[in-house]
Chains A and B, each alone.
Chain A
Amino acid sequence: MASKKPLAAIRGFAMSDLSRQYIGETWQLAVTAIHRAIADAGLKKSDIDGLLINKSPVATLMDLPMDLLDYAGLKDLTLCSVVEAEGSSGVQMVQQAALAVQAGLAKAVVCVFSDAPIRPGVSTQQAFGMPLPLMGKLGSEAPTGLFGPVAAYALAARRYMHKNKLTEDHLGAVAVACRQWALKSPLAMMKKPLSMEDHHNSPYVVEPFHLFDCSFPVNGAVAVVVTSAERAADGPQPAVYIHGMGQGHRGVTNRRGFENEIEIGAKLAGQGAYAMAGVGPKDIDCAQVYDAFTYCILLQLEQYGFVEPGGAGEFALAGQTAPGGSFPVNTGGGQLSGYYLQGGTPLSEGVMQARGTAGERQVKHDLVLTAAYGGRMMYHACMITSPHASL
């Protein structure tokens, strides 16, 4: 491995309370996570000079406005922005914070994701049930009845399953593995054991997806404080060094010869991050990835280079991503069984693992891949972190 200085580091990390009930406005949850993260970093509000904000793509700027800095009591910032890259923003904002710290635009940047989709009288299906645009400007999702991310992803999963001769067992294996991890995490929302039979017996939402192929939205917020590597080293918590980061946005081509459902930008994002860190997929100890639906874990395992293309289904079915397996994935239960906070989910578990504070679910963590995507896996961002300042 190359011996290079880290790009930056995560010095502080915290979350708000998580709930399936209304526990406050989006901005209120954000303020809680911000204040906790600053305290966790051993810093004062006056030490913070940057704020990067990540709202849900289906929320409005009113939910999480720029003046969040005022609500949080932050003053005289030299960096403040809303990062809007859909679900990939959770990782993108940390990337942007690292760049800002490197360039000297700011010294201590708080990055926050917050969402409160669940309200009295609003189900998660209603909160996320609008069409996810797959056809660009055509907009034919609504008249054909393809509503919700669940339908858009199910359409992709069917194609992926067909190409790789997968069955619902392969999807179920992902759900079961995530549940096994969730049972080890005090933060996870899903606390009942899940068998393959339970998965298959859960109702179809959009075939081929059963209910347990779908993630579990919550209200909550995640915040981190990004500083230089030097500054993070003298914090009260173990520093999480950022050694590599990448993005991949391939574009969608709706015609013969292009498999948008399989050839996603994660490959490009991973290649960038590996090159920057001077490592390869074989060096990574665990992965924390965006898993809005079971199929997303399988595809990312392949695209990030952990498994040969087409091999992820059997890999998961053999239990390799589960506790005791050869390559732990989404060790907090992921979005499927832990908590769906968009990019905040892999970000939070990635920090806890890299710090070595994941308790019963702690795995080998010399190198952790954290990845998030937006749209229907159209926009990808990832980073490679480590508790070690040099690799």
Chain B
Amino acid sequence: MYDITRTLGWPMPVLNELNQPHFDAMAEGKVMVQHCPDCDTWLAPGAFLCENCGSTGVRWREASGRGEIYSYVVMHRSFDPAFEALVPYNVCLIELAEGPRLLANVVGVANGDLSIGRAVQATFESVGEGLPLLKFKPG
């Protein structure tokens, strides 16, 4: 469990040094994840240390934004008012070309056409009252 806050009317985690650069980068249209310079391993954001070599020298680094669908669900119920009008909506686990996986909604494709392995690329859409959020689209 973690605390949820509202930013521009949208549910968001409370930001801290382990996740803020990822969310801040969305306003600039960038997919920021983490990277270990010591062993050249790309890491999902939120890493405190490199899970491959144990280094604490993990850095933020921009990813290409290309990836594929690793798994996905279709939400048929709303658990939060922000999503009420969107049901049924998808949530996908995207495996970036660099390796890290990110949760995101995939836009521009019908829920029935989602499939594991489908190529996607990053796009940014405004949610709530103008919050830029990382999404993915076919590509």
Asked if residues A206 and B75 are in contact (CB atoms below 8 Å), the reply is yes
Check A162 against B73 for contact (C-beta < 8 Å): no
Indicate if B121 sits at the interface (CB-CB under 8 A).
no
A135 to B42, CA, bound (A): 15
A192 CB within 8 Å of chain B: no
Interface of chain A residues 120 through 165 with chain B (CB within 8 A):
125, 129-148, 151, 154-156, 158-159, 162
Please, which residues of chain A bring their CB within 8 A of the CB of B100? 254-256
C-beta contact mask, B35-72 vs A, less than 8 Å → 1, else 0? 00000011111111001000000000000000000111
Distance between B116 CB and nearest chain A CB, rounded to angstroms: 5
Contacts of A261 in B (CB 8 A): 71
Number of A-B contacts (CB under 8 A): 138
User: With A and B bound together, what is the CA distance between A148 and B79 in angstroms?
Assistant: 8
Q: Name the A residues within 8 Å of B47 (CB-CB).
A: 136
Bound CA span A333–B15, Å = 42
A148 CA to B100 CA in the complex, in Å?
23
A159 touches B70 (CB 8 A): yes
B124 within 8 A of A: no
Q: Does A207 contact B (CB under 8 A)?
A: yes
Of A135, A204, A208, A253, the contact of B103 (CB 8 Å cutoff) = A135
| Residues on A facing B (Cβ under 8 Å) | 57-58, 125, 129-148, 151, 154-156, 158-159, 162, 203-208, 251, 253-257, 261
**Contacts A/B (CB < 8 Å), 19 sampled:** A129-B79, A135-B103, A137-B19, A138-B19, A138-B45, A140-B102, A140-B103, A140-B104, A141-B103, A143-B11, A144-B91, A144-B103, A147-B83, A159-B70, A207-B73, A207-B76, A254-B44, A255-B101, A261-B71
Q: Which residues of B contact A (CB under 8 A)?
A: 1-2, 4, 10-14, 16, 18-19, 22, 41-48, 51, 70-77, 79-80, 82-83, 86, 88-89, 91, 93, 95, 99-105, 111, 116, 127, 133
